[in-house]
């Protein structure tokens, strides 16, 4: 390890989490002291790689944890937060929904609307949301319970791909998707989008092709998804779809 990077005291480390059939390794629990240590190193100018070396974790683990903390305190993606909220407002005025499912809602934008039936969720139990469940497990439960919503907002940390189909099935008027996977393009990574979106060339890795993929899921569900707003920022994109019935008439022509 780089000598200039301070070593975190061993007593700050959390216990190992027992391995299950779903995990290849035994991850270590985060402690408050370890998290504060990481934050302090970042304030002092250390890189994620150096912080990871200091606390004996992977770079990915450190990066994700610190980003989640930013999301928790409202600073994650702060540069485009105002523009996102303004577009949310415009879309709400356009769509006029009576019910909203905010599936990844650490700090739900929609709480400002007193006249809508709002359902919120975040896997982090420290957030005051209606549910604190894994998003995909929750949307499966809600679909099983035959729930419907005028608007569903998928604004994940990462990708909401697993929730697309059920969200389209349940949404009546509109769907909003934040495509966090656009961040992979920065590192010229195609592993995720090739596996899920059938995109195998960097030049094909763009928001329009991701939109087309989602619209095709809509067609399979007999729904037409029309783009009302498309917003792109560094490493992220957010698309606002209006939903209408897709009528298949070819067999009658």
- Segment 82-123, tens digit of pLDDT: 899 999 999 999 999 999 999 998 789 999 999 999 999 998
Per-residue pLDDT band at 69 (split at 50, 70, 90): confident
Query: 95 and 56 in one domain?
Result: no
What pLDDT does residue 18 have?
A: 61
Query: 169 and 67 in one domain?
Result: no
- Asked whether the predicted pLDDT for residue 3 surpasses 50, the reply is no
**End residue of a domain, out of 26, 51, 72:** 72
| Percent of the chain surpassing pLDDT 90 | 60
Query: 129 and 31 in one domain?
Result: no
What pLDDT does residue 76 have?
A: 54
Query: 83 and 19 in one domain?
Result: no
Structure tokens at 34: 């370890």
Mean pLDDT over all residues of the chain?
88
In a domain, 5, yes or no: no
Query: 148 and 104 in one domain?
Result: yes
In a domain, 182, yes or no: yes
Q: What is the mean pLDDT of residues 194-204?
A: 96
In a domain, 227, yes or no: yes
Q: Could you give the CA distance from residue 208 to residue 69 in angstroms, rounded to a whole number? A: 30
Give per-residue pLDDT as tens, 119-131. Answer: 999 988 878 899 9
Query: 85 and 53 in one domain?
Result: no
Lowest mean pLDDT among 10-14, 50-54, 137-141: 10-14
- Asked whether the predicted pLDDT for residue 155 surpasses 60, the reply is yes
Domain residues for the domain of 68 are 10-72
Q: What is the mean pLDDT of residues 224-246?
A: 95
Query: 128 and 158 in one domain?
Result: yes
Per-residue pLDDT band at 16 (split at 50, 70, 90): confident
**Which pTM value belongs to this model?**
0.72
């Amino acid at each position: 390890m780089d000598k200039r990077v301070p070593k975190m005291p061993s007593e700050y480390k959390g216990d190992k989490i027992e391995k299950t059939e779903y995990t290849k390794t035994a991850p270590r629990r985060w402690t408050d002291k370890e998290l504060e240590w990481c934050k302090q190193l970042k304030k002092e100018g250390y890189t994620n790689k150096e912080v990871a070396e200091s606390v004996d974790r992977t770079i990915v683990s450190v990066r994700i944890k610190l980003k989640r903390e930013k999301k928790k305190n409202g600073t994650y993606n702060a540069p485009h937060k105002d523009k996102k909220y303004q577009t949310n407002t415009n879309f709400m005025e356009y769509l006029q929904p009576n019910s909203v499912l905010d599936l990844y809602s650490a700090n739900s934008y929609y709480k400002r609307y007193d006249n809508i039936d709002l359902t919120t969720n975040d896997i982090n139990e420290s957030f005051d949301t209606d549910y604190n469940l894994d998003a995909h497990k929750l949307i499966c439960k809600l679909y099983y319970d035959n729930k419907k919503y005028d608007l569903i907002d998928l604004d994940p940390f990462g990708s909401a791909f697993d929730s697309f189909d059920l969200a389209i099935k349940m949404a009546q008027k509109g769907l909003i998707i934040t495509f966090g996977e656009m961040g992979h393009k920065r590192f010229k990574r195609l592993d995720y989008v090739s596996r899920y979106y059938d995109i195998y060339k960097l030049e094909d890795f763009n928001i329009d092709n991701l939109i087309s993929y989602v619209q095709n899921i809509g067609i399979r569900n007999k729904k037409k998804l029309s783009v009302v707003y498309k917003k792109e920022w560094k490493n992220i994109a957010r698309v606002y779809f209006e939903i209408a019935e897709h009528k298949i008439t070819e067999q009658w022509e």
